[in-house]
Structure 1
Amino acid sequence: MKFSSIQPIILASNSPRRKELLQLAGIEFTVKPSRVKEDLPFTPHEPDRYAVRLSEQKAQAVFDENPTAMVIAADTIVVKDDRQYPKPVNNEQAVEFLLQLSGETHQVITGVTVLLEDRKLQFASLSQVKFRDLDIGLVHEYVRSGDAADKAGAYGIQTEGMLFVEAIVGDYQNIVGLPIGELVEHLRREQWLMLEVGDA
């Protein structure tokens, strides 16, 4: 499967997970990570809007330098009981986060912004993740592996962090970092992305 776009696509992220999802969907793109500082205050009453605003910041920074491209940006946050669990600053905080999420259900929200010419497409996707009661030894070994360091909530569901997960409700790819099915649906509806149909 392959898609074509009405303008060259730039992914405003250096996330290997988001790159892989776009590639698997058959979308051609280049990568230009946004260097914007993520310093927006968290809004616990509107976490979805917060995630979208973060994605818009990233998209706008790259779009300002590439105004003839279609720029896609996303930001994924982990929330439980009105508290955000960002990327941990160190191993100690990673362990703290995981133990606080142990045996509990949390929300994973990805905000997405797409900028094209004078148009803007935005949405947020929400998934629920239920953690098992975590063994502290397993938590420490996972954190020691380094995998928790660059991930919201201090875990990756597509890596060894999958061992923590008891159940999910919603889009799995959203938890990985990009709700690719929903993104493609929106882009096709706007006719910014077209399916290339091959010969039978």
Structure 2
Amino acid sequence: MLVLASASPRRKELLTRAGFDFTVMPGDIPEEPREGESPIAYVTRLAREKAEAVRAKLPDADQRMILAADTTVVAPNGEILGKPVDDADAARMLRLLSGATHQVATGVAVLAGEITEVAAEVTWVTFATVSDAEITAYIATGEPRDKAGAYGIQGAASRFIPRVDGCFFNVVGLPVALVASMIEGVKKQLTKSSAVAV
């Protein structure tokens, strides 16, 4: 049985739509980047730590496959943008993204038995120039509050985004095709290890 180590409703919805059968058990860990840590290293580390935190809580962890992910927005100036702490922080983030192209990086970890697979997906997102009035109106919707980079591409912010290069679902929060290939790869490794054991 697959366990999703995330409380994100967007990840749950994407997995459900893709036809996966799973249970949810959030992996709560500190989500602060380390000194000098690159965005890719940051999101892959967090994904692995979330999966490991959930594995440590499961009494039957050896019989489960655990999936964890972490998504961050990388501003054009290289700053890692997590979830805004308040509306002023959201406005600051949106001004950084306005009129420029930024990256969205998601780290994915799949754990099963002794197997740990970690990978990352990067998508480039172009924002139109957004006025202060538009930013204020968007923040008033409440949408930016729980989202990395202070926007949700699947919501009202879609009006600001004329171009996406790469996996769209990665920007929503889970690169579904990458996840599917990783799960299949882990299943094959488990089959091989079982065959060797016999």
* Aligned partners of 1:105 and 1:130 also within 8 Å: yes
| Distance in 2 between residues matched to 1:101 and 1:42, nearest whole Å | 23
The structure with more helix, counted as a fraction of residues: 2
User: Partner of 2:90 in structure 1?
Assistant: 94
The structure with more strand, counted as a fraction of residues: 1
Aligned residues with identical type, % of pairs? 38
- Show the 5 A alignment for 1:129-140: 129-140=125-136
| CA RMSD after TM alignment | 1.5
For residue 55 of structure 1, what is the amino acid of its counterpart? A
Q: Which has the higher contact order (CA 8 A, sep 6+)?
A: 1
Q: Compared with structure 1, are the counterparts of its residues 192 and 23 closer, same or farther at alpha carbon in structure 2 (3 Å cutoff)? A: farther
For residue 168 of structure 1, what is the amino acid of its counterpart? V
1:30 pairs, out of 19, 23, 34, with 23
User: Partner of 1:83 in structure 2?
Assistant: 79
User: Partner of 1:104 in structure 2?
Assistant: 100
Tell me, which stretches of 5 or more residues in structure 1 are unaligned?
1-7, 194-200
| Distance in 2 between residues matched to 1:96 and 1:122, nearest whole Å | 32
Please report how far the alpha carbon of residue 186 of structure 1 lies from its aligned counterpart in structure 2 after TM superposition: 2.1
* Aligned partners of 2:112 and 2:186 also within 8 Å: no
Tell me, which stretches of 5 or more residues in structure 2 are unaligned?
190-198
TM-score (norm 2): 0.89
* Aligned partners of 1:105 and 1:131 also within 8 Å: yes
| Distance in 1 between residues matched to 2:71 and 2:12, nearest whole Å | 14
Please report how far the alpha carbon of residue 40 of structure 1 lies from its aligned counterpart in structure 2 after TM superposition: 3.8
User: Partner of 1:184 in structure 2?
Assistant: 180
User: Partner of 2:56 in structure 1?
Assistant: 64
- Show the 5 A alignment for 1:145-160: 145-160=141-156
| Distance in 2 between residues matched to 1:192 and 1:29, nearest whole Å | 19
TM-score (norm 1): 0.88
Deviations 1:74-110 (A, max 9, x none): 0001112221111000001101110111001100000
For residue 85 of structure 1, what is the amino acid of its counterpart? L
Aligned residues: 185
1:41 aligns with 2:34: yes
